[in-house]
Structure 1
Amino acid sequence: MAPAFAGHSKVFVVDAEGKPLLPCHPARARKLLKVGKVEVLRGSPFTIRLKYPVENPVGSLRAKVDDGSKWVGIALVNEHTGEVVFRGTLIQRGDVVRLLTLRREYRRNRRYRLVRHRECRNHNRKQLAPFPSIRQKKEAVCRVLTDLAKIAPISGVDVELVAAGVKNPALPGEGAREKVLNRDGACVLCGSEEKLQRHHLVPRSKGGSDTPMNQVVLCEKCHRKIHAGEVSLDREGWTFAWVAHAVLGKAYLLALLSRFGKVRMCEGWRTKEWREGLGLAKSHANDAACLFPPGGPLKIFGPEYLIYPLRRRKWEGNPTKTCEERSGFQHWDIVRAERAGRRVFGCVRSLKARAMTLRTAGDGNFEVSYSKAKLLHRPRGLAYVPVW
């Protein structure tokens, strides 16, 4: 059954002692604010705090994580009522490898400069597993769940793990060879059925995968012509480049997620079946919401969020961030702006003399004037940008 979409979002609630409670309807939050029983705790996602403690809170939510290399889908679902109270996409940082390489070059430059010699310390350094560039991506997922656990009662986590092996049940056969032969049946160039061979669209020496998505069936003659450069295929292959970052940190991610309760795991093809069965469009947030769906229909509340992990250390001397504040706005502020009759939500990217630029869902450098923007929330560690 197709899920229902509500036009409003749920309001997160915590009591006076900081214990998270189940989200409430915005109308109920407005009544409590009007009579003075609650106060606003944060603006994005919108959260209120009761002025009295709750002895025995009831109900819990389950976190859903669609792990990936660049984008990670995260959702909070009430499995008893089928309500999706939060869904968003975590935008992973892509500059960590460059910064680590730059730091290593600086360190080697200091060692071999014409100054006092210092011995190499590589032998007494302990290598972290997984590598720091992968650790920070998995820790960013845990960082988001830790922040959401402050305003939502999370009792467990469902996670989709990326698999690099041949585990697609849609194609008949046990191994990759049988799956490719059963799918094509003959040479894809000439149609011959004699002396069939497998051909990798992206060579394994260049990062190509050994899955059926990266292989086609060719006869012996056509296979020889392909490698000689006489003919070519108009098909794109599949590489391990994005899979490697997600696969290498599996055990580390599961160890981090175990802090939030029992962890259930599934694979991508199961998620695809659940999402298509519910009739949802392909997105990382929808994939996360479809993990282990409840028996009844889903009801999705509110917008989808773009989550940006802010750097804890400021970049000194950044030429694009020489201005810390202008017209009451700072970097990474969540604002609502209008331009040419279009209303957008985004976070501040840069502050210029006459206008500022925003990170939005459709444009990473959306320019608006200061008079057309309104400050909604000033994040501290994570920026939640709603996408209506």
Structure 2
Amino acid sequence: MAVFVLDRQKRPLMPCSEKRARLMLARGRAVVHKRYPFTIRLKDRVDGETQPLRLGIDPGSRITGLALMRENSEEREVGKRHVLCLFELVHRGFQIREALDQRRAFRRRRRTKNLRHRAPRFDNRTRRDGWLAPSLQHRVDTLSAWVDRLCRLAPITSLSQELVRFDTQKLDNPEISGVEYQQGTLLGYEIREYLLEKWRRECAYCGARNTPLEIEHIEPRRRGGSNRIGNLTLACHDCNQEKSADTLDAFFATARGLKKRLRQHRQSADARYRRVIQQHDRPLRDASAVNTTRWALNRNLKRKGLPVAVGTGGLTKYNRQRLGIPKTHALDAACVGQVEALHGWQVPTLTLRAMGRGSYQRTRLDKFGFPRGTLMRRKQVHGFQTGDMVKAVVPNGKKAGTHVGRVAIRQTGSFNIQTEHGVVQGISYRHCTVIQRGDGYRYHLTPFTHDRGEGRAVA
């Protein structure tokens, strides 16, 4: 993986290899400027020659791929790229949505119980043109911030964005065409009658017949399920009550009453589970998030002052299969647009996981919204703050060794460190050294392996 290089005046130069960076640090010609992504600053050089660099972007709902590539400037080699760095940016949009829903529910409860609360705002507020929900705006802002950060670390000359659009109706029905787009799933049906025909007038879970059936959410609303017709099914009263807010896997694995009813109706649990999975339509929230934010992201990228080339998802897949490149988010970003050849793509991937910058809450809350405990008011303890990347060298004891990761502070001075292999608890601040101040992200370097390259491992 290439190392970013800055000159003496902190202006970006061409990235170099790890070996060359190691030699310059050993000879005293450079100092470490940043750990993640690893950047050095030269002490004896100002300015230098650069080559065309392209940043490829593969926007996603949960994970966005980024690829920094060097392009050949000769006309006969246009379209040939050499991968320098690969990144995967993990968003936290769904966490933001859940936090806003929880805050809304707590406020509603305080108002109905006449507790201390903020007065509700007017319902006739207007929203500016191009307004996006906070969970969607987060994706646009986070990606734009990382494009700016990489432009400060490398002399990027152009951008490539996959401007993908999902046909949500075709995802449900690949054979849809023509006027069928306007007719919809419930043409000629009411919802209950449609579900009765779809599930053969029996409970979807235990197979019970000739019993009152209730409408049930396959993916519970509490866990992000929607009211789409594809997420609805029919269940008997006992199955509906026992499933409650459990996931489908947990319900079939642990529900004792369901197993008893399956034996009574001579039904196979595996067969019923497979049937529900086959009839359950895939959730469209990821596709909707990408469709909603694609043009907002494109406008933000054009404001950077760099030429932006766009490509379709079909072209990206064609390039990847033609060149024999495995499927990952970061490598998809390297295949965006017109690509003739791609070299050096077997490099590690740096995962950038958005963690936020803390919370204003002074207490934890129980499931009823009442305060539970009190949080510390100080942001720092002995010079450390939650989110800092630290290196802890423990000389002896059960936790002896070197631990590097993101720290979570305690007022007692006994910290927790989130390393690549798990959480190490109870590390004294005396053993810790800050290697990079917290910036709202957690970093993890994943070496390239054939398993990961084939798409079986996801960051």
Q: TM-score, normalised by structure 1?
A: 0.68
Matched, 1:249 2:293: yes
Matched, 1:79 2:71: yes
Shift of the alpha carbon at 1:313? 5.0
For each residue in 1:107-160, what CA deviation from the matched residue of structure 2 results, as whole angstroms up to 9, or x when unmatched?
A: 667877589996843324435612222111111111111121111122222122
Change beyond 3 A, Cα 1:330–1:385: farther
- Matches for 1:238-317 after TM superposition, within 5 Å: 238-260=282-304, 261-292=306-337, 294-300=339-345, 302-312=347-357, 314-317=359-362
Provide the rounded CA distance (Å) in 2 between the counterparts of 1:117 and 1:65: 42
Change beyond 3 A, Cα 1:280–1:76: same
Matched, 1:386 2:386: no
2:32 alignment counterpart:
40
Alignment equivalent of 1:331, drawn from 386, 391, 413: 386
Contact 1:349 1:359 (8 Å CA) reproduced: no
1:356 alignment counterpart:
416
2:131 alignment counterpart:
129
Q: Tell me the secondary structure at the aligned position of residue 83 of structure 2.
A: strand
Change beyond 3 A, Cα 1:83–1:251: same
Provide the rounded CA distance (Å) in 2 between the counterparts of 1:166 and 1:309: 28
Contact 1:12 1:23 (8 Å CA) reproduced: yes
Amino acid at match of 1:308: R
Matched, 1:90 2:150: no
Instruction: State the percentage of identical aligned residues.
Output: 26
1:11 alignment counterpart:
3
Change beyond 3 A, Cα 1:31–1:115: closer
For each residue in 1:241-300, what CA deviation from the matched residue of structure 2 results, as whole angstroms up to 9, or x when unmatched?
A: 211111111221111111331222223232222222333332212211222364333203
Contact 2:12 2:152 (8 Å CA) reproduced: yes
1:206 alignment counterpart:
228
Q: Tell me the secondary structure at the aligned position of residue 157 of structure 2.
A: strand
Matched, 1:155 2:157: yes
Q: Tell me the secondary structure at the aligned position of residue 59 of structure 1.
A: coil
Shift of the alpha carbon at 1:88? 1.7
Contact 2:51 2:71 (8 Å CA) reproduced: no
Report the count of equivalent residues: 334
Shift of the alpha carbon at 1:205? 6.3
Change beyond 3 A, Cα 1:325–1:119: closer
1:218 alignment counterpart:
none
Shift of the alpha carbon at 1:330? 4.8
Provide the rounded CA distance (Å) in 1 between the counterparts of 2:54 and 2:352: 19
Q: TM-score, normalised by structure 2?
A: 0.59
Amino acid at match of 1:298: H
Mean CA deviation greater in 309-318 or 291-300: 309-318
Shift of the alpha carbon at 1:61? 1.8
Larger relative contact order (Cα-Cα within 8 Å, sequence gap ≥ 6): 1
Q: Tell me the secondary structure at the aligned position of residue 8 of structure 2.
A: coil
Provide the rounded CA distance (Å) in 1 between the counterparts of 2:342 and 2:443: 27
Shift of the alpha carbon at 1:324? 6.4
Shift of the alpha carbon at 1:208? 5.0
Shift of the alpha carbon at 1:310? 4.2
Mean CA deviation greater in 285-294 or 239-248: 285-294
Amino acid at match of 1:100: L
1:186 alignment counterpart:
none
Contact 1:347 1:358 (8 Å CA) reproduced: yes
Provide the rounded CA distance (Å) in 2 between the counterparts of 1:382 and 1:370: 21
Which of 1 and 2 has greater Rg? Answer: 2
Contact 2:403 2:417 (8 Å CA) reproduced: no
Amino acid at match of 2:349: E
Contact 2:416 2:427 (8 Å CA) reproduced: yes
Amino acid at match of 2:300: L
Shift of the alpha carbon at 1:387? 1.9
Contact 1:13 1:24 (8 Å CA) reproduced: yes
RMSD: 4.5
1:99 alignment counterpart:
99
Alignment equivalent of 2:14, drawn from 22, 25, 31: 22
Matched, 1:144 2:146: yes
1:192 alignment counterpart:
none
Contact 2:356 2:441 (8 Å CA) reproduced: no
Give the unaligned 5+ runs of structure 2. Answer: 73-79, 181-197, 200-217, 219-225, 232-271, 365-373, 448-459
Provide the rounded CA distance (Å) in 1 between the counterparts of 2:347 and 2:331: 13
Shift of the alpha carbon at 1:53? 5.4
Give the unaligned 5+ runs of structure 1. Answer: 1-8, 179-198, 210-228
For each residue in 1:20-60, what CA deviation from the matched residue of structure 2 results, as whole angstroms up to 9, or x when unmatched?
A: 11101223223333343322111111111123553454223
Provide the rounded CA distance (Å) in 1 between the counterparts of 2:118 and 2:141: 37
Provide the rounded CA distance (Å) in 2 between the counterparts of 1:87 and 1:125: 41
Contact 1:83 1:301 (8 Å CA) reproduced: no
Q: Tell me the secondary structure at the aligned position of residue 150 of structure 1.
A: helix
- More helix per residue: 1 or 2? 2
Provide the rounded CA distance (Å) in 1 between the counterparts of 2:118 and 2:146: 44
